[in-house]
A and B are shown apart, each in its own frame.
Chain A
Amino acid sequence: MIVSEQKPFGQIFDFVRDYNNILVLGCGTCMTVCMAGGENEVGVLSRQLKLAARHNNLNMNIDELTITRQCDREFFDENATEKINRSDVVLSLGCGVGVQYIVELFPEVIVRPGVNTRFYGANISQGLWLERCAGCGECVLDQYEGICPIARCAKSLMNGPCGGSADGMCEVDTENTECAGQLIYERFKNLNKLDELLEIKPPKNWSAGRDGGPGRIAREDMMFDE
């Protein structure tokens, strides 16, 4: 899933303080699961805004709504559309995709991001999310037995580890971040195929990722005929 964290409250408040009708719009999918912008976070943030508005003698009407996804047209139903059109500013707790999609669907409305979108990650344990994929566009997990050197190595080394690897940890954060090169080594060792790691991997083709410009996937088979 996409993992985000809420922006500092002061920044959020500055985004919306000059408006009267504010809609805090949550996302019921990724943002709910990473606890950054689901129904619960929408509730807490809305209440914080109400209290801050009162504290600063501002007249702010704060409405709240959480839709299933902000990156899919079908979830902007009648109710959502009405609420969005009625507001002066939408504070989106969807990821960056959600924010932009609202702008596309409702060009008249001002939208502000309430979260910082961080990475594609897994929920490792309650309250802990770790990056696992960087959306590079040409997955090489087959070559690394399921451990991604792009997302999990700070330097995205295809032929790691680097000299900064110590006791299994990455020099970038020796307390919390495991060295991907070391993890790959251990994995190959357990699978009795260490010799395969001796093969030098060629540079990666980045044209499918950021270097190729904004991504586009077009499936004729799924499209409606004009």
Chain B
Amino acid sequence: MLKKKPKIIAFCCHYCAFTAADLAGTMRLQYPANVNIVRLPCTGKVNANMLLQAFVDEADGVMVAGCEPGSCHFLEGNVRAVKRVSFAREKLSEAGINPERLEMFHIPASEGPLFAKSAKEFTEKISQLEKKGDGEADEPDSDETGVETGETDSREIGAEKGEPD
């Protein structure tokens, strides 16, 4: 059962990916309207708390988009973001959420087309996961996703397809 378009949150660095998203708009490139951008001063601002909160608030997928390695405005913010995203992916997986729903991207400011392409491809990937019923249950009484109440033991909680990288 495919629900509405997936809800995607994109945490974008002001100096690169956000500018690229802006450029994509200026260039009139289409990217899915369900991608909601949150501008950050640097992707070094992200932490597991805020990434998981996006999922608690019903995001279906979360992108973190920062500068290319070596070109962070604050030197190492994007490198730290990579680590935090991979930590948050582990945490998601432990909680039974497919970690593929969270992904890190590197998009330079001049790359409007790359932003549009990444947003499109990520939305597509999440739509596929939704179609497969892969991920958290959408309805409390849904019987096609999730595991039945009271019958899962700890070893099954993280038993999702897809491993953190």
- Using a CB–CB cutoff of 8 Å, the interface residues on chain A facing chain B are 8-11, 13-14, 40, 43-44, 47-52, 54-59
Beyond the given pairs A47-B55, A50-B56, A52-B95, 5 more chain A to chain B contacts, judged by CB atoms under 8 angstroms and listed by A's residue number, are A40-B47, A47-B53, A48-B91, A52-B94, A55-B146
Residues in A whose Cβ lies below 8 Å from that of B97 = 51, 55
Is A57 in contact with B95, judged by CB distance below 8 angstroms? Answer: no
Residues in B whose Cβ lies below 8 Å from that of A40 = 47, 49
- Using a CB–CB cutoff of 8 Å, the interface residues on chain B facing chain A are 47-49, 52-53, 55-56, 91-92, 94-97, 136-137, 140-142, 146-149, 152-155, 157-158
- In whole angstroms, what is the CA distance A96 to B53 when docked? 29
Residues in B whose Cβ lies below 8 Å from that of A14 = 153-154
Residues in A whose Cβ lies below 8 Å from that of B155 = 10
Which residue of chain A is the closest to B88 with respect to CB atoms?
Answer: A44
Main secondary structure on chain A at its contact with chain B? Answer: helix
Is B48 in contact with A10, judged by CB distance below 8 angstroms? Answer: no
Is B149 in contact with A9, judged by CB distance below 8 angstroms? Answer: no
Is A55 in contact with B49, judged by CB distance below 8 angstroms? Answer: no
Q: B95's contact among A8, A48, A58, by CB below 8 Å, is which?
A: A48
With A9-B94, A43-B49, A47-B52 as known contacts, state yes or no: A54 contacts B137, CB within 8 Å: yes
B59 to chain A, nearest CB (A): 11
B125 to chain A, nearest CB (A): 19
Is A56 in contact with B152, judged by CB distance below 8 angstroms? Answer: yes
Residues in A whose Cβ lies below 8 Å from that of B140 = 57, 59
- In whole angstroms, what is the CA distance A10 to B96 when docked? 10
Is B56 in contact with A10, judged by CB distance below 8 angstroms? Answer: no
Q: Which 3 A-B pairs have the closest CB atoms?
A: A10-B154, A47-B52, A55-B96
Residues in B whose Cβ lies below 8 Å from that of A50 = 56
Residues in A whose Cβ lies below 8 Å from that of B53 = 47
Residues in A whose Cβ lies below 8 Å from that of B91 = 9, 44, 47-48
Residues in A whose Cβ lies below 8 Å from that of B147 = 55-56
B62 to chain A, nearest CB (A): 12
Residues in B whose Cβ lies below 8 Å from that of A54 = 136-137
Is A10 in contact with B157, judged by CB distance below 8 angstroms? Answer: yes
Q: A51's contact among B47, B95, B141, by CB below 8 Å, is which?
A: B95
- In whole angstroms, what is the CA distance A52 to B153 when docked? 12
Q: B96's contact among A8, A47, A51, A59, by CB below 8 Å, is which?
A: A51
A26 to chain B, nearest CB (A): 12
Q: B52's contact among A8, A13, A44, by CB below 8 Å, is which?
A: A44
Residues in B whose Cβ lies below 8 Å from that of A51 = 52, 55-56, 92, 95-97, 136
With A43-B49, A48-B52 as known contacts, state yes or no: A10 contacts B158, CB within 8 Å: yes
Is B158 in contact with A9, judged by CB distance below 8 angstroms? Answer: yes
A144 to chain B, nearest CB (A): 38
Is B149 in contact with A10, judged by CB distance below 8 angstroms? Answer: no
Residues in B whose Cβ lies below 8 Å from that of A10 = 94, 153-155, 157-158
Which residue of chain A is the closest to B141 with respect to CB atoms?
Answer: A57
| Most B Cβ at <10 Å: residue of A52, A57, A59 | A57
Residues in B whose Cβ lies below 8 Å from that of A44 = 48-49, 52, 91
| Most B Cβ at <10 Å: residue of A8, A54, A58 | A54
